[in-house]
Structure 1
Amino acid sequence: MRKRPLILVTNDDGITAPGIRTLISVMNEIGDVVVVAPDSPQSGMGHAVTIDDTLYCKKITIDKGPQEEYQSSGTPADCVKLAVSEILGRRPDLCVSGINHGSNSSINVIYSGTMSAAVEAGVEGIPAIGFSLLDYSWNADFEPLKEYIEKITRNVLENGLPDGVVLNVNFPKSTTFEGIKVCRQARANWVEEFDKRTNPQGKVYYWLTGEFTNMDKGEDTDEWALAHNYISLVPVQFDLTAHYFIQKLNNWNL
């Protein structure tokens, strides 16, 4: 009998978030599941790791299904590190992160705790996928995503991923989809503004606000796909070297 794959599940919205509970239910159909996720929301943490504070990790039971579940006081990247080094006992066959409440397309991949957990798994040599839904509501409908998540996951387990590559999958807010579109990351950014306020004690504080601006008009991008009701699938590499510029730098008078 074929051995079921060991799947590590994590996220950045916290272990009780509906998104991760949905992801766990899908992974239970595919393999043996171990969950290591933050005990509270960690959105926007990027690839932060805990180096100057204590880390806690406690075994818990939320619902039936996973072989084991652990909640951690750490970041999403911490959760993957703890899972690999202290909890699992062997390297998992796959790591899935999400389902994030909100999109992680385009430049958002840089800030995303969801994708940073997937990237951390990739750094460890583990095939990894980050899943996100363009709906920030806690009560978002994740049911229509399930069959596509299973299809993508089974493809990764069957075909593997290149070293240094993880997948970033984003779903538009919809109950039906045009299909899955393999894309590149759109060139876009946030134009930030800070709402300056004063508290009752007279101390100034700020709330970060801003507007997402897509400068990319290409029809092969994740933003185009989401706008046209496609599921975007972007292969993400975490080697940040601008290889094309190396030779030009070598020609500088250094």
Structure 2
Amino acid sequence: MINKKPLILVTNDDGINAPGIRALIEVMNTLGDVCVVAPDSPQSGMGHAITINDALYCNRINISKDEPQEEYSCSGTPVDCVKIAVNEILDRKPDLCVSGINHGSNSSINVIYSGTMSAAVEAGTTGIPSIGFSLLDYSLEANFEASKKIVKTIAEQTLKNGLPNGVVLNVNIPKLNSTEIKGIKVCRQANAYWQEKFDKRTNPLGRDYYWLSGEFVNQDKGQDTDEWALENGYVSIVPVQYDLTAHHAIKEINSWELQ
């Protein structure tokens, strides 16, 4: 009996040409057979959006001519990429889905806005062990060398051990070189939020428009959070569940006079 290599689906939200996904592909090619399905343009901040009112286009391309993976660019969102990969492109369920490496943080509250993590969550809902990887560097010239070793370690362990049902991993990597990274910590999501504001401007035609900005506010002083880990030189792993039920609130709400 021939043992097949693991089948690994690679996606992201920064677009198929982003340096982060190219680094991720390089690592995954050392672990299994790779199929890449990623947006044809940047889709950051799309969350779990899907395309329902427009046609989706998915084209096979060949960016890395010296590497063996299949690659497809998709006109849709990161979640669309996972859906079309699983339902139309692949002939079997992937053994692993990895999303990223994102250019910038997806720690704490950022996880709910993240296209990177939403792609991983979408794969997780179909029973595929899934990981979202992010590097705390927004630059297109970001150095992913230190990230590659971290990515390989976590992906290997996930392939070996699997993940609990209903759980995907949110991995954030500090902007440090390999000698400066102190280790990997499994954490909880910090209690933080964005203090948002809109910069109101007027275009040359006299029409008002708005530009979103804001300040990240971390209210959580715990030393078991992703924010603490990242600030102190550690890679953070937060196990994320896509069951959003607030189980602790069911008893209280059942006490309301609802009938």
Q: Which residue of 2 aligns with 1:37?
A: 38
Give the partner amino acid of 1:111: Y
Matches for 1:67-86 after TM superposition, within 5 Å: 67-86=69-88
Matched, 1:7 2:19: no
Q: Which residue of 2 aligns with 1:182?
A: 186
Matches for 1:125-204 after TM superposition, within 5 Å: 125-176=127-178, 177-204=181-208
Instruction: Work out the CA distance in 2 between the residues paired with 1:168 and 1:202.
Output: 43
Give the partner amino acid of 2:187: C
The answer as to whether partners of 1:35 and 1:66 remain within 8 angstroms in 2 is no
More deviation, 165-174/66-75: 66-75
Residue ranges of structure 1 left out of the alignment (5+ in a row): none
The answer as to whether partners of 1:24 and 1:66 remain within 8 angstroms in 2 is no
Pick from 216, 223, 230: which aligns with 1:226?
230
Give the partner amino acid of 2:60: K
Which whole-Å deviations, capped at 9, do the CAs of 1:131-183 have from their partners, x for residues lacking one? 00000000000011111111100100010001110000000100030000000
Q: What is the TM-score when the length of structure 2 is the normalising length?
A: 0.97
SS of the equivalent of 1:185 reads: coil
The answer as to whether partners of 1:10 and 1:20 remain within 8 angstroms in 2 is yes
Q: Which residue of 2 aligns with 1:27?
A: 28
Which whole-Å deviations, capped at 9, do the CAs of 1:95-137 have from their partners, x for residues lacking one? 0000000010000000000000000000111000000000000
Matched, 1:215 2:219: yes
The answer as to whether partners of 2:29 and 2:69 remain within 8 angstroms in 1 is no
Residue ranges of structure 2 left out of the alignment (5+ in a row): none
Instruction: Work out the CA distance in 1 between the residues paired with 2:56 and 2:118.
Output: 18
Q: What is the TM-score when the length of structure 1 is the normalising length?
A: 0.99
Instruction: Work out the CA distance in 1 between the residues paired with 2:194 and 2:80.
Output: 26
SS of the equivalent of 1:107 reads: helix
Q: Which residue of 2 aligns with 1:112?
A: 114
SS of the equivalent of 1:126 reads: coil
The answer as to whether partners of 1:34 and 1:66 remain within 8 angstroms in 2 is no
Distance 1:125 1:60, change over 3 A: same
CA offset at residue 67 of structure 1? 2.6
